[in-house]
Amino acid sequence: MWATVAMVAASLVSPAHATDYAGPLFDAHLHYNEEAWNGTTGPHPLRDVLDRIQRNGVRAVIANSRPNDGTRALAAARAQTQAAALTVVPFIRLYRNRADYDSWFRDESIYEMVQTEFARGTAAGPYRGIGEFHLYDSANANGPVARKLVQFAERNNLAVLAHVDDVAVDLLMAHAPQGGANLRLIWAHTGIGGPAAARVDELMRRYPRLMGELSYRPGLACEDGLLCPEWRVLLLKYPDRFLVGSDTWVNQRWLYYDDLMRGYRRWLGDLPADVARRVAWSNGAALFGLP
């Protein structure tokens, strides 16, 4: 009997931790920017990033880069990506350089660049989305080019990867037909400013095709690297709507790629197996029709 009491007490103090999620990962927020490979080799040439991706069990990536050459290079490395069992899902980035971050939403030359890039495609097939783009001031979601690009995306069945606040989610959705009912908007970081879980819940309910990507999400992980209670509830409530991503926006994130993926595997392992598998892999795979 004492043994039973002791076991119960021990289980209350340190709940048995499920093993880390061991299945495939879909990295829904990967950048292969100029400074990572420098147009030729750089600190993270293709061989290096593909090694990092492969050794972490990442089997598909949403690839985008500033400028788009990095994405095209990844897409063109067919022999290497196939050897790494990796599917590259290419997105058109709206930035030729850093200056474009602050003006793309009203810059007609960006709209033209996107058209040209879309028509050109990649060696891994047509582009499947646009972004990541940023709106530091949500009002700029109403910029003329932002409006046109949302409509362009919807027309061409492209997903949209947007680093925006919750107000801008509503504004961007309003540019799409049927109030955004069919717009495949992937909310980068699910709001890096950390809108309350209740607000995320409200947006998920309102927009049936809104997806939340979880890198850099404030308040997501709590003790022992497991999900905070309100986020656990959200993921269980919307198991088909969340994705994980690395956000390799600076080279340092490549250095920590192993740690980032290990962190995801830890909290994923604490979810029911079917939910973990969806968030880790199947939701991204379903978005782009991967097997």
List 152, 216, 249, 288, residue binding Zn ion (CB under 5 A): 249
**How many residues lie near Zn ion (CB under 5 A)?**
3
Choice between 249 and 288, CB closer to Zn ion: 249
List 117, 132, 213, 270, residue binding Zn ion (CB under 5 A): 132
Shortest spacing between CB 7 and Zn ion, in angstroms: 46
Residue range at the interface with Zn ion (CB under 5 A); choices 49-57, 227-235, 243-251, 282-290: 243-251
Name the residue among 272, 291, 271 with its Cα closest to residue 281: 291
Sign of CA dihedral 166, 168, 172, 175: positive
List 100, 165, 213, 247, residue binding Zn ion (CB under 5 A): 247
Render the burial of 249-259: b for 16+ CB within 10 Å, e for the rest: beeebbeebee
Please check whether residue 140 is in contact with residue 147, taking contact to mean a CB–CB distance below 8 angstroms.
no
Residue range at the interface with Zn ion (CB under 5 A); choices 84-92, 109-117, 192-200, 242-250: 242-250
Question: Binding mask 195-234 vs Zn ion (x if CB under 5 A, - otherwise)?
Answer: ----------------------------------------
Q: Is 154 a residue that touches Zn ion (CB under 5 A)?
A: no
The DSSP result for 187-203, as a single string, is EGGG-TT---HHHHHHH
Strand partners, 221: 227
Alpha carbons 247 and 260: distance in angstroms, whole number:
10
Interacting residue ranges for Zn ion, rule: CB under 5 A: 132, 247, 249
